[in-house]
Amino acid sequence: MGRRLLSYRSVVCVLVVCLLASSLRKVFFAPRADHHIQAISVVELDSPTSPTSTDYFPEDVRLKKDQVSLPERPQPTPLGTHHYGDDGLLVVNPDGPHPIFELIQRAEEDWAGKHDRASKTLDEAVAEYKRRYKRRPPLHFDKWWDYVVEHNIQLPDEYDEINHDLEPYLGIDPLDLQKTLEELEERDEVITIEKTDESPYIEVVDHNLPAGSEERLTKRIWDILLLLVDVEDFIPPFRAVFSPHDNPSMLSDHGVRSMALAAAAAGSTLKRSELPNIQQTGWLSACVPSSPAWKYPLDLDNPPKRTSPKTFISNHRLVMDPCLNPYLLYNHGQFLSHDKGPGPQSTLVPRFSFCSTLIHHDIRPSVPYGWIEDLLPRSDDPPWEEKVDERLLWRGTNTGIFHGSKTRWRDAHRDHLVSYVNDMDGTVDVLRSPLNDSEPVGEPIQLRKAYVNPALLDIQFAGKTGSCSPTLCEQLEKMYDWRKMQTIKEAGRYKYVFDIDGNGWSGRFKRLMTSNSLVFKSTIYPEWFTDRIAPWVHYVPVQVDLSDLYDTLTFFRGGLHGEGAHDDMARKIASAGREWSQKYWRREDLTAFMFRLFLEYARVYSLDRDALTYKEDDLG
Contact present, 501 and 521 (Cβ < 8 Å): no
pLDDT(13) > 70: no
Tens-place pLDDT, residues 66-86? 444 555 655 567 899 999 999
Cα–Cα–Cα angle for 199, 202, 204, rounded to 5 degrees: 115
Nearest to 68 by CA among 30, 34, 38, 48: 38
Cis peptide leading into residue 377 (ω within 30°): yes
CA pair distance 520, 509, nearest whole angstrom:
10
By the 8 A CB rule, do 336 and 300 touch? yes
Question: So what's the pLDDT on residue 73?
Answer: 59
pLDDT at 353 over 80: yes
Confidence of residue 304 (pLDDT cuts 50, 70, 90): confident
Phi, psi at 240, each rounded to 5°: -140, 155
Residue 217's nearest CA partner among 247, 242, 182 is 242
Give SS3 for 192: strand
Phi and psi at 458, nearest 5°, equal -130, 80
**592: closest CA among 161, 285, 272, 260?**
161
Task: Please check whether residues 152 and 243 belong to one and the same domain.
Answer: yes
Amino acid 96: pLDDT: 98
The total domain count for the chain is 3
Residues 231 and 267 in one domain: yes
- With respect to residue 467, please indicate whether it lies within any of the assigned structural domains: yes
The 10 Å Cβ neighbour count of residue 611 is 11
Residue 34 has pLDDT above 60, yes or no: no
Supply the pLDDT for residue 78. Answer: 86
Radius of gyration of the chain (CA): 35
Q: Are residues 261 and 379 in the same domain?
A: no
pLDDT band of residue 18 (cuts 50, 70, 90) is: very low
Q: Are residues 385 and 344 in the same domain?
A: no
pLDDT digits (tens, 9 = 90+) for 531-562: 999 999 999 999 999 999 999 999 999 998 99
With bands split at pLDDT 50, 70 and 90, how would you rate the model's confidence at 244?
A: very high
pLDDT per position as a tens digit, 245-295: 999 999 999 999 999 999 999 999 999 999 999 999 999 999 999 999 999
> What is the number of residues in the chain?
620
The values of phi and psi at residue 384, to 5°, are -50, -45
The DSSP annotation for 563-600 comes to TT--HHHHHHHHHHHHHHHHHHSSHHHHHHHHHHHHHH
Question: CB within 8 A of 368, min separation 6: which ones?
Answer: 223, 224, 226, 227, 587, 590
In a 10 Å sphere around its CB, with 0-12 CB exposed, 13-18 middle and 19+ buried, how is residue 378 labelled?
exposed
My answer on whether 174 and 53 are in the same domain is no
Question: Has residue 36 got a pLDDT over 50?
Answer: no
Does the pLDDT value for residue 514 go beyond 90? yes
Sheet of 190-195, strand order = 203-208, 190-195, 238-242, 351-352
Please tell me whether residue 129 adopts helix, strand or coil conformation: helix
**CA atoms of 138 and 390, how far apart (whole Å):** 49
**Helices and strands: H and E segment counts in the chain:** 20, 14
Asked if 140 and 212 sit in the same domain, the reply is yes
Decide: residue 173, CB within 10 A, 0-12 exposed, 13-18 middle, 19+ buried: middle
Select from 52, 71, 90 the last residue of a domain. Answer: 71
Any domain includes 52? yes
User: Average pLDDT, stretch 513-530?
Assistant: 99
Task: Give the residue with greater pLDDT, 40 vs 284.
Answer: 284
- Whether residue 369 has pLDDT greater than 70: yes
Q: What is the pLDDT of residue 562?
A: 92
Q: Are residues 193 and 336 in the same domain?
A: yes
198 in any annotated domain: yes
- Please tell me the distance from the alpha carbon of residue 365 to that of residue 533, in angstroms, as a whole number: 17
Instruction: Give the separation between CA 178 and CA 607, rounded to whole angstroms.
Output: 9
Instruction: Determine how β-strand 494-500 pairs with β-strand 518-522.
Output: parallel
Evaluate whether residue 3 is within a structural domain: no
In this predicted model, what pLDDT tens digit does every residue of 150-205 receive, in sequence order? 999 999 999 999 999 999 999 999 999 999 999 999 999 999 999 999 999 999 99
DSSP letter at 272 equals G
Mean pLDDT of the chain: 90
Provide the β-strand partners of residue 459. 394
Position 12 pLDDT exceeds 50: no
CB atoms within 10 A of CB 96: 20
| In a shared domain, residues 521 and 390 | yes
Give the pLDDT confidence of 126-145 residue by residue, as tens digits.
999 999 999 999 999 999 99
- Among residues 263, 294, 264, which one has the least CA distance to residue 279? 294
User: Helices 587-605 and 174-185 meet at what angle, rounded to 10?
Assistant: 110
Are 162 and 294 in a shared domain?
A: yes
Q: Are residues 139 and 60 in the same domain?
A: no
Do 500 and 417 touch, CB atoms closer than 8 A? yes
Q: Is 55 helix (H, G, I), strand (E, B) or coil?
A: helix
Distance separating alpha carbons of residues 484 and 595, to the nearest angstrom: 40
Q: Is 543 exposed, middle or buried (0-12, 13-18, 19+ CB in 10 A)?
A: buried
pLDDT above 70 coverage of the chain, percent? 87
Task: State the pLDDT confidence band at 616, using cuts at 50, 70 and 90.
Answer: confident
pTM tops 0.85: yes
Lowest mean pLDDT among 51-55, 308-312, 333-337, 518-522: 51-55
CA distances to 58, 126, 269, 363 from 613, in Å: 93, 12, 16, 20
Mean pLDDT computed over 615-619? 62
Q: What is the pLDDT of residue 354?
A: 97
Check whether 55 has a pLDDT greater than 60.
Answer: no
Q: Cβ(510)–Cβ(370) under 8 Å?
A: yes
Mean pLDDT computed over 6-16: 45
Does residue 58 surpass a pLDDT of 60?
A: no
Instruction: Identify the pLDDT of residue 72.
Output: 61
Residue 147 lies in a domain: yes
Is 245 found in the same domain as 138?
yes
Give dist(CA 496, CA 394) in Å, integer: 9
Query: Cα–Cα distance between 335 and 351 in angstroms, integer?
Result: 19
**Confidence at 305, pLDDT banded by 50, 70, 90:** confident
State the amino acid at position 43 in one-letter form.
V
CA–CA distance, 370 with 274 (Å, rounded to integer): 42
Cis peptide before 276 (omega within 30 of 0): no
**Is the pLDDT confidence value at 613 over 60?**
yes
Q: What percent of the chain has pLDDT over 90?
A: 85
Q: How far is CA 389 from the centre of its chain?
A: 25
Sign of CA dihedral 571, 573, 575, 577: negative
CATH number at residue 505: 3.40.50
Cite the DSSP H helix spans in 277-353: 316-319, 328-331, 333-336
- pLDDT band of 37, cuts 50, 70, 90: very low
- Name the DSSP letter for residue 98: P
Residue 187 within any structural domain of the chain: yes
324 and 355 inside one domain: yes
Give the residue numbers spanning the domain of 59: 42-71
The 10s digit of each residue's pLDDT in 424-454 is 999 999 999 999 999 999 999 999 999 999 9
CA distance 400 to 97: 36
Q: Is residue 32 part of a domain?
A: no
Does a structural domain hold residue 316?
Answer: yes
pLDDT at 393: 99
Of 54, 71, 88, at which residue does a domain stop?
71
Q: Which residues of 1-27 are buried (b: 16+ CB within 10 A; e: fewer)?
A: eeeeeeeeeeeeeeeeeeeeeeeeeee
Three-class SS of 356-420: CCCCECCECCCCCCCCCCCCCCHHHCCCHHHCCEEEEEEEECCCCCCECCCCCHHHCHHHHHHHH
What are the pLDDT digits (tens) for 370-417? 999 999 999 999 999 999 999 999 999 999 999 999 999 999 999 999
